[in-house]
Every structure is written in structure tokens, then in C-alpha cells.
Structure 1
Amino acid sequence: MPNAETDVDILLSDQDDNGVLRLTLNNPSKRNALSEEMLERLKTAFAKASTDAAVRVIILAANGPAFCAGHDLKEMTAGRAGSDRGKAYFTHVMALCSSVMQAIVTCPKPVIAEVTGIATAAGCQLVASCDLAVAADTAKFSTPGVHIGLFCSTPMVALSRNVSNKHAMEMLLTGDMITAERASEIGLINRAVSQETLSETTRELALKIASKSSMTLATGKRAFYQQREMDLPQAYDYASNIMVENMLAHDAEEGINAFIEKRAPEWHDE
């Protein structure tokens, strides 16, 4: 659906026969900023993909020199025009952004960020919210809110759940840009590769994951994010129950039998 102002579809969607859905941020003139419209489009896209059995893995990519520069600050500034100095509008946008990030985490399909250029502020948050991330070795990341008097509090939530406290705080307190190599070292991304091989590398990873049972992937993704918020005994109790339920599923029985019989499994995704 084209943007009313630019006549450009700001979020492209393409799905192949292997179940890999590629969502591409497509507003390079605005550095793929998370405008209200972009957030709404992403929220709808992830909601649709979550219930589409044909989708097995999602790649989140971007066109142009920037992956995503975060919130549209011009749009946010215009929101100050209200009598409340923008409080209601800011509250709405932050809630919408948070819902998109949570939609990525709760989506039963694995989500891989394919990062080129820069990913800053809420754009960095977007990368951190994805299950996996592959970046061009020229990509850079930052949470630069402190430079403009606005601490990156919501990006902090995703960032602090991906990297250690010290590394997260250094990014948040300094606002410094870090390289893709450094992002890989601290766990913000999985790996940095050449720009020329980025899409191929990401696709190979997506196809490897797409070949697994989607039931198993959904079970594991949900369990991963649930258990990490629990203390150790709770986490083991929860994970043990998940394992029991998983063992009773058709695909687990099929997978184990296939392993014993030395053959390829035939997934039913159930």
C-alpha cells in the first residue's frame, strides 16, 4: 500500500516457496524511520505472518543506506502541537512501537534481521528484538538519544536483553556508534559478513531454519522467551513441562524415529 505523500510502498512483502517471508523497509529517503505508518504496517505484517501456516521464517531487511534510523523525529516534533504538548501523541506512538517489538518476540515464526547501513535508536531496538541478526560488515549501531537529551529508554529494553549490562550501558550512556564487528562481539548480532554476501548468508540461515518442524520452532521460541524471565527452579519446571508436551507431539515422535531409522524426517508441523 503506497504512502499517501510519496506514492511509495514503505513496507514490501515477498514470500518464496520455501516459506521464507521477506519484509523490507522501503522508505530510504527518510532512512526507513519508524513513522506511525511504518509501525502500523509492521504490526499488521507480523500479526498476519503469525497465523499464516505457509510462513516458516521471516527476514526483516531494508532498502537504502540505512536499515532504520529510529523514530521519525519530525513527525514526533509535529506531535507537540497539541495543548498537552504532545503527551497523548507520544504515549500512543511509544505504545505502538512497543507493541511492534513485542509482536516480533511473540511471533511463533523465527525472525532474522538483515542489516545494512546504520541501525540507530529504535532501529537498533528493532534489530535487538529479532531472534537472529546478520549484518554487513559496514553496518553500524547506536542508541544515540543522549546526544539530543532523550535517553533511549525503550531501545534499552531490547538491548539489555541481548547484551551484558556493561555493554548496554556503555551504548546508552555514550550514544557512540559501534561497528558490526563490535556488535557481533557483544552479542547484538550473530555475525558480520561482507555486503556482497549478506543476503545470501541470511537466506541460507533462513532456509536451514525453515527446513525444521514449524511446531518445534514455535514451541522452542515461546519457551526461550518465557523461561528467561523466571528464576532457575521455575525455569526448569517450566522447561520440563514443555519437553513433556513436545515429546508427545507428532513431529517429535517422527523426528526421533527418523533418527533411529537413519532417514530424513517428514514433518507434519504438529
Structure 2
Amino acid sequence: MQDSILTCDVAAGVAVLTMNRPEKLNPLSDAMLAALEAQLAAIAADAAVRVVVLRGAGKAFCAGHDLREMQAGRAAPDAGAAYFADLFDRCGAVMQMIPAMPQPVIAQVHGIATAAGCQLVASCDMAVAAEGTRFGVNGVNIGLFCSTPMVALTRNLARKQAFEMLVTGDFITAERAREVGLINRVVPEGELEAATQALAAQVAGKLGAAVRIGKRAFYDQIAMNLSDAYAHTGAVMVENMLLSDTDEGIRAFLEKRPPGWTQQG
């Protein structure tokens, strides 16, 4: 339903998730987090979906947590301690779902991506942003250090750049975000959807089984030391090589013809 807080449209192996609360700049409210968790879980189990695009409706990608909702949590007898702990746990779980999904997830970013919204961009596998987009982890400006967004941010950016953003609350431009590794590409605003769809289609055209194997290995090896990473990825390469579609892909390359993939396995 197009009036849903989170819409999902699937075509040609690409699922487009749209955070649909534009009047509030698509905050990661309790309802939005629940919707994202349910939809990401459903997509992860859908072999027909090969790539996911995550975007925001209206004039912004995502402005982070819903501060009014958070403040309402203070009415509890414990001043909100249990609610806040649960909120950040739920948000962290959603962020961890994205790299754990078998499909690559591309953030399509415009307007602003702030605090947990910037965390969401950093959690995605790739990101394309419109010129003029601003990124920030600006909670420190209102007295709340963005400690949970820091987890994703420090796994994308150089340490000093990440700390500067966290401790100053300053925004960075899309061009700077690309320079420091937060996003992949910057395009004119009018070309954002087309450019993101082109990237998604390019990835969707690869052998799905190989991409799933590769994405899993990508995140697994990052957490390992060098020798363990090589041992692990060597075993992954064996797994990949034994796929019948990989055999077909290599034969097709050697025979100078398009591969006849079954996209199974």
C-alpha cells in the first residue's frame, strides 16, 4: 500500500524500499523500525530479489530517531531507561540485518541523512547520493553523542574523520562523503533514481549465488586477522567454484559467448 509507512516495490529482481513518512523526514520511529525489520526479513528469504534499494520519500532520506517519541518515553517511572535501551537495541538489530542479508543493499540518499539516518547509510553495502545532500551525526548538538551511529560510521570512515563528525556535529557534503568513504557516487539530483537503478540493475545481472556467497564472505573476513581471512576466503572460493553456474560462466568466457546461467544454487 502506498500510504504505508514503508512501501516495497519489486521489479526485475530489485526491491525498492521507501521510508514513507515525508512530513517528519522519515524518522526511525518505533513503527518504522518494526516495518524495516519485518520487510528486510521477508526480502532476505526471497530468492527472487537480488538487490535492495533503500530510499526516503519527500525531501529527505532520513532524519534519524523520532525525538518527540523518545521524549515521550521519559514519562515512564524509570525516566525512560528501559524504553531507551530497547529502542537502541532494536535499532542496532535492524542495522545489523542489512550486512547480514544475502542481497546487496544500496542507499539512495537525498536531502539529509542525519544521526541514525546517517547510520543507516553507513550500514548499507553501497550508497548513491544526490548533489546537495548533507550527512551528519549531529546528536552532540543537542547533548546526545551519537554512540550507536558511531559503530557503523567508524567501520566506513577513517578514525579521525569519524571522530570529528561525531564530536563537532558538523554536516559534510555529498562530495566529502564520497571522499571519506561513506558513499560510492554523487549524481545530479534529477538523475538520482536512474543512477541508483542502473547500479542495482548491474549488480542484479550478476550470478546471484556468487553475489550471495561473496557478500557473506566480505563481512566475515573483515573481522578476521590476515591469515584467517585468507584461509576462510580460500574455502569460499572453492564453494563458489563448485557451483554449476560458475562452471558455465567460465566456459562461456573461454568460448566467447554469454553465459546460460540457471541462477540456481
TM-score normalised by L of structure 1: 0.96
What amino acid maps onto 1:14 in structure 2?
Answer: D
The match for 1:213 among 204, 207, 211 is 207
In the aligned structure 1, how far is the partner of 2:262 from the partner of 2:210?
11
Deviation at 1:259, TM superposition (A): 0.7
Deviation at 1:147, TM superposition (A): 0.8
Partner of 2:190: 196
Note the alpha carbon deviations across 1:81-130, whole angstroms, 9 max, x for none. 11111111111111110111111110100100000100000000000000
Identity of aligned residues (%): 56
In the aligned structure 2, how far is the partner of 1:254 from the partner of 1:164?
40
Partner of 1:129: 123
Deviation at 1:268, TM superposition (A): 2.3
Q: Secondary structure at the match of 2:239?
A: helix
In the aligned structure 2, how far is the partner of 1:99 from the partner of 1:254?
38
What amino acid maps onto 2:44 in structure 1?
Answer: S
Partner of 2:7: 12
Note the alpha carbon deviations across 1:125-174, whole angstroms, 9 max, x for none. 00000000000011000000111111111101111111111111111111
Say whether 1:42 aligns with 2:8: no
Deviation at 1:266, TM superposition (A): 2.1
In the aligned structure 2, how far is the partner of 1:230 from the partner of 1:92?
30
In the aligned structure 1, how far is the partner of 2:160 from the partner of 2:232?
29
Alignment coverage as a number of residue pairs:
264
What amino acid maps onto 1:175 in structure 2?
Answer: G
In the aligned structure 2, how far is the partner of 1:72 from the partner of 1:160?
23
Deviation at 1:265, TM superposition (A): 1.1
Q: Secondary structure at the match of 2:61?
A: strand
Note the alpha carbon deviations across 1:195-253, whole angstroms, 9 max, x for none. 01110000000000000111111100000001001111111111111111111111211
In the aligned structure 2, how far is the partner of 1:26 from the partner of 1:45?
14
In the aligned structure 1, how far is the partner of 2:234 from the partner of 2:168?
42
Q: Secondary structure at the match of 1:23?
A: strand
What amino acid maps onto 2:242 in structure 1?
Answer: L
Unaligned runs of 5+ in 1: 3-7
RMSD of Structure 2 on Structure 1 (CA):
1.0
In the aligned structure 2, how far is the partner of 1:174 from the partner of 1:267?
51
Instruction: Give the conservation status (yes or no) of the 8 Å contact 1:216–1:251.
Output: no
What amino acid maps onto 1:10 in structure 2?
Answer: I
Q: Which runs of 4+ in 1 moved over 4 A?
A: none
Unaligned runs of 5+ in 2: none
In the aligned structure 2, how far is the partner of 1:15 from the partner of 1:233?
40
Q: Secondary structure at the match of 1:66?
A: coil
TM-score normalised by L of structure 2: 0.98
Say whether 1:181 aligns with 2:184: no
Partner of 2:230: 236
Instruction: Give the conservation status (yes or no) of the 8 Å contact 1:71–1:121.
Output: yes
What amino acid maps onto 2:71 in structure 1?
Answer: T
